[in-house]
Amino acid sequence: MTNHFDLIVIGAGPGGYVAAIRAAQLGKKVLCIEKRASLGGTCLNVGCIPSKALLDSSELYHDVKTKSSRHGILVGDVQLDLTALMKRKTQVVKGLTDGISYLFKKNGVSSVFGSAMITAPGKVTVTANKGANEGAAGEKSVNEYQAPAILLATGSEVATLPTLPLDHQFIVSSNEAISFPEVPKKLIVIGAGYIGLELGSVWNRLGSQVQVIEFLPRILPLTDLEIAGMVQKSLTKQGFEFHLGTKVVSAKVIGNQVEVKAESAEQGSGKAALTFWGDRVLVAVGRRPNSANLGLETIGVTIDAKSGKIPVNSKFETNVPGIYALGDLIAGPMLAHKASEEGIAFAEMLCGHAGHVSYDTIPSVIYLWPEVASVGLNEEEVKKSGVSYKIGKVPFSASGRARCMDESEGVVKIITNSATDRILGVHIFGPRASDMIAEAVTIMEYHGCAEDLARLTHAHPSLSESVGDAAWMAYTGKAIHF
Ligand code: FAD
Ligand code: NAI
């Protein structure tokens, strides 16, 4: 393989691999370097995909056990084969990560497996993984590659707490909680964010008793407060136990159990200290950008000392010309689709085209059941902005399709500017909210109003009729079906 390229991408996650493919499609000679043994980054290997495979399997198990009889389907004694469930997850991951290798070949992207470090602007050394293609004999070979443009797409890693060091067996991160060898009887989750609630849901459905300890007085800090309240109620009904406004002080493994000590997050609250016992503790308190050990300090790339994120300009260029960054490594939500959008925009701008990411209309989805999906501002943010606003809100209990599905929990909430009718935010807590939010993204991207959304024809019977009905309510003050 030649060592000279037009673009070197470090990291093959949804930011890096998408940027590499798009740049190659636009005629660049691209090398992508990945230190994992497979392509796809956090998302495909240990993040979005394995967690969703587990969520889908556990949902099916839970539905067969608890919902099928309501449809008149009697299945007898339902058994869980955790080994088979995990095997299916691994197969899904493998199919998709192999798929990226296929896409690289198809688009002419070169790749090497090993740890990359920038030694000078335009120069990258790669220490090959043991046994990977660049160190076939098992020794750690080091190669140098050159390109006028280097893209940092190294993503993020698990953030930890000094009071809760991971031992990776009993006190674990999501990396291990997607592969527990057996269903923990008691799972303690630290952090009521995306990972805590998604993986908490998986194990709760499979039979764990889940206790969630959250520092803040609420769950899902970035979600619309009213929706977060509904989610908390729903999860509590599903068996979750929440301890909000609670700070973990220590954790100790004793035998095969973990003792977690916690206290009120509010100083001098007078609340008694708490002790929890669990078989496993999942620490899910956020992620940190992978900006260390890349040689960035040596070549003078600015790194934000507090967040570890790398500041970039509108072309994703760092303060050092020719070095770019995107995805979890830079500002904004740590989401796979955000990283991929940035990958496309970066590649297009690098190749002289216009590139753009609509940061105001990046949707977010939390894959619980019912699902939580949103785009735009939440009610608290709109209130804070001082804009006068209206709300259209309809429950799924008013939806014929939701009733047929026996899935009538949840609401669609649409927030509009009361003077202009323009949609400011859409929040859906309901069945398959992840798919319904696409319509809201489209209408907001085109600066649409509630009237535009209300007057679109929604197929009947479909869940998205509720989106139309909530739009009618925001536009006229009255829904048709509620
Ligand atoms: P990453 O996917 O982290 O990829 C970076 C890659 O760079 C990694 O493969 C890493 O090995 C490699 N790398 C790092 N350093 C080097 C180096 N020196 N040399 C070579 N390679 C290097 N987001 C969603 O949008 N939807 C979801 O449903 C979702 N679920 C998630 C579930 C879990 C459990 C987790 C942990 C995350 C989830 N996320 C989800 C977040 C999502 O995975 C990230 O936002 C996304 O992967 C970021 O993409 P990226 O390309 O910036 O980085
Ligand atoms: P998070 O930021 O979503 O949630 C972390 C939670 O931990 C917050 O509620 C926070 O208040 C709490 N917390 C922080 N310190 C604490 C402490 N000391 N004690 C108790 N609670 C504490 O982070 P999470 O869940 O680790 O996920 C990381 C990121 O990965 C997410 O922010 C998201 O960007 C991404 N992700 C996205 C998913 C999706 O799109 N469906 C799924 C999973 C992850």
pLDDT at 267: 79
- With a CB cutoff of 8 Å and minimum separation 6, the contacts of 417 are 387, 388, 389, 390, 424
Domain of 244?
171-285
pLDDT band for position 139 (cuts 50, 70, 90): low
- CB count, 10 Å around CB of 359? 12
Helices (H), 318-432: 336-350, 379-385, 400-405
- The reply to whether 207 and 280 lie within a common domain is yes
User: Measuring from each residue's beta carbon to the nearest atom of ligand 1, which residues come in under 6 Å?
Assistant: 10-16, 33-36, 41-43, 47-48, 51-52, 115-116, 153-156, 174, 195, 290, 294, 327-328, 334-337, 339
Determine which of 133-137, 213-217, 223-227 has the lowest per-residue pLDDT on average.
133-137
End-to-end CA distance of the chain: 64
Same domain, 209 and 300: no
CATH number of the domain residue 145 falls in: 3.50.50.60
Q: Side-chain half-sphere of 37: how many Cα atoms within 13 Å?
A: 6
User: Which atom of ligand 1 has the smallest separation from the CA of 158?
Assistant: 36
**Quick one: 312 and 234 in the same domain?**
no
Q: Which of 353, 447, 460, 481 is catalytic?
A: 460
Read off the CATH number of the domain in which 384 is found: 3.30.390.30
Q: How far apart are CA 71 and CA 293, in angstroms?
A: 56
Residue 469 lies in a domain: yes
Q: Ligand 2 pocket check: which of 45, 166, 172, 195 to mutate, most ligand atoms within 8 Å of Cβ? A: 195
Q: Residue 381 domain-assigned?
A: yes
pLDDT digits (tens, 9 = 90+) for 11-40: 999 999 999 999 999 999 999 999 999 999
337 catalytic per annotation = no
Same-domain check for residues 380 and 394:
yes
Q: Determine, yes or no, domain membership for 78.
A: no
Do residues 179 and 281 share a domain?
yes
d(CA 90, CA 102): 18
Other C-beta atoms lying within 10 Å of the C-beta of residue 337: 16
C-alpha 92 – ligand 2 centre gap (Å): 24
Verify that 421 and 334 share a domain, yes or no. Answer: no
Residues 399 and 408: beta-carbon distance below 8 Å: yes
Give the domain-ending residue among 285, 313, 339. 285
- The pLDDT confidence band at residue 136, using thresholds 50, 70 and 90, is very low
Evaluate whether residue 36 is within a structural domain: yes
Average pLDDT, stretch 199-225?
A: 98
Containing 251, the helix (H) or strand (E) segment is: strand 246-254
Query: CA dist 39 to 14, 36, 52, 112, 467, Å?
Result: 9, 7, 18, 10, 37
Instruction: For residue range 94-134, list pLDDT tens digits in order.
Output: 999 999 999 999 999 999 999 999 999 999 999 987 655 54
Beta-strand relationship, 142-146 and 123-128 = antiparallel
Q: Is the peptide bond before 221 cis (omega within 30 degrees of 0)?
A: no
State how many domains the chain has: 3
Same-domain status, 93 and 176: no
Atom of ligand 2 nearest to the CA of 336: 40
Task: Say if residue 258 is in the same domain as residue 304.
Answer: no
Which residues contact ligand 2 via a Cβ below 6 A?
Answer: 161, 190-196, 198, 213-216, 221, 247-248, 284-287, 333-335, 364-367
pLDDT tens figures, 151-191: 999 999 999 999 899 999 999 999 999 999 999 999 999 99
Q: Is the dihedral of CA 74, 77, 81, 86 positive or negative?
A: positive
CB 116 within 8 A of CB 33: yes
For residues 201 and 333, membership in a common domain is answered with no
Q: Is residue 448 part of a domain?
A: yes
Query: Quick one: 178 and 327 in the same domain?
Result: no
Task: Give the Å distance between the CA of 193 and the centre of ligand 2.
Answer: 4
481 occurs within a structural domain: no
Report the amino acid identity of residue 345.
A
Same domain, 237 and 225: yes
Could you identify the atom of ligand 2 that is nearest to the CA of residue 213? 20
